[in-house]
Chain A
Amino acid sequence: MNDIAIWTEKLVKVYSQVKAVDELSLHVPRGSVYGFLGRNGAGKTSTIKILLGLARPTAGQATVLGFRVGHDQVAILERTAYVSENKALYGNLTAKELVRFTRGFYPNWSDDAAARYARSFEIPMDRPFNKLSQGNRTKVFLLLALAQGADLLVLDEPATGLDPLAVDEFLRVLAQDVVGDGRTVLISSHQLSDVEQVADHIGLIDQGRLLLEAPLDDIKSQFRLVTAGNALPQTRSADVASVTSNGSFCKYLVKQNAEAFAAELRRQGATVTDISPLGLREIFLELVRKEEPCTSGNAGGIAASVSSSF
């Protein structure tokens, strides 16, 4: 368990009638940058809140850095930096005062790092927080999180309001200062291109359930979009995650062994016109979108088969 930073087993969170988190089992490897992806309302923030002790799970269990969620919460919070989704802080304090307020809570706090990030993010440190732009508020949050020297960074939409230059600087800091020292980063974001650049593991959830969890490189080497004419949407194998059809043309999202599946299509008389690799954005859309008439309903089987191959 020592090489796992975050572990959950069949985590459930029910808010009134709604299952926000539905038997979610996550494995975030220590030292990884884990892209935690999903649509709005997919259950990402609910999951994060449970991990940090801000919400109680309805069922299931979890550990963070080896400590049990709900039992060793102080140990978890000491070692975890959290950038929350709604970026709210004491509004009349300046960034400088917020730094002074925050540093006392964290034994590994670095004043050097705080000063460095204040400069590199170009944060107006003497202005009250509630007078700052959305982007600068985000930067203050990032500074406070990065300077804690935490073993785990949990970043919920860390790029909110940041301009492209600030995003670039943030990615540089992650690559240079955070990853590689055994520190773990969980990023929940809709900015798929940023995640794609820096993440090495992906967890994709929808309606509280895990659709896909695997090393990003494995996903990219194995996932293929197979396009075929004269094909039937019913043609399936265990490797097909979703199908969309348009007339006699079908697009199959295949999670591995695309060549074997294409051979099977040809045997059935179809013409395979294309087998192409996909970016994260395309995979996300293919797995999550619902409106297509023949989209497969059971994409949930993907996790186990891909994650074992790294």
Chain B
Amino acid sequence: MLLHINPSSGVPIYLQIENQVKHYIASGALRPGEALPSVRQVAADLRINPNTVARAYQNLERDGVLQTVPGGRTYVAENPTGLLKSEKIRRLRPHARQMAVEGTQLRLDPQEIIDLVRQELNALEEAHERHSDLDRKAR
């Protein structure tokens, strides 16, 4: 797993890590059951505070994205979507609202905004298939 952070952006570093891990999982670059590097390793690689990495891992664990075995390593959760549908929608709604507001402000019409989301979904799906192909070839 290769993370990249931008410390001087206004986005807290722990959020940057969370978003990248989620993206790696959604695109299939990280698989359920796969181990993540330790907090200390990530902190040393990125030259950032281990407390910041620990916070990102804890949040991802709380969201059911990662699992930590007691006293040991952190893995991508096998079943990362144990949440109720209503809860998933509740969490996604702010992002949808943001899309709607920003898109409207930029004077895109509704269809263009929806198409944009669809394109991103397709890109994730393609990435996922690429990773599956690579896995098959590796076997």
Contacts and interface: CB of A to CB of B under 8 A. Distances in A.
A180 B40 contact: yes
Contacts of A172: 44, 47
A41 B6 CA distance: 30
A113 to B, nearest CB: 15
Contacts of B46: 175
A72 interface: no
Contact of B52 (A193, A200, A223, A280): A200
Contact of B14 (A197, A217, A276): A217
A31 B51 contact: yes
A196 B16 CA distance: 14
A111 B62 CA distance: 41
Nearest to A221: B12
Contact of B51 (A174, A180, A280): A180
A277 interface: yes
A133 to B, nearest CB: 23
A198 B47 contact: yes
Interface residues of A, number: 29
B49 A279 contact: no
A164 B55 CA distance: 28
Interface string B22-44: 00000000000000000110011
B49 A198 contact: yes
B50 A279 contact: no
Nearest to B41: A176
Contacts of A196: 7-8
B108 interface: no
Interface in A264-282: 276-281
A217 B12 contact: yes
Interface residues of B, number: 21
Contacts, number: 66
Contacts of B43: 175-176, 179-180
B108 to A, nearest CB: 18
Contacts of A199: 49
Contacts of B44: 172, 175-176
B11 interface: yes
A197 B7 contact: yes
B8 A281 contact: yes
Contacts of A174: 47
Nearest to B47: A171
Contacts of A200: 49, 51-52
B72 interface: no
Contact of B48 (A198, A276, A277, A278): A198
A171 B15 CA distance: 20
A33 B11 contact: no
A52 B55 CA distance: 32
B12 A179 contact: no
Contacts of A168: 47
A307 to B, nearest CB: 16
B21 interface: no
Contacts of B50: 175, 179-180
Interface in A25-74: 31-33
Contact of A220 (B12, B47, B49): B12
Interface of A: 31-33, 168, 171-172, 174-176, 179-180, 192-193, 196-200, 216-217, 220-221, 223, 276-281
15 contacts: A31-B51, A33-B49, A176-B44, A179-B50, A180-B43, A180-B50, A196-B7, A197-B7, A200-B49, A216-B12, A217-B55, A223-B10, A277-B9, A279-B8, A280-B8
7 cross-chain pairs, A with B, having the tightest CB-CB distances, nearest first? A277-B10, A171-B47, A176-B44, A180-B50, A197-B7, A217-B12, A279-B8
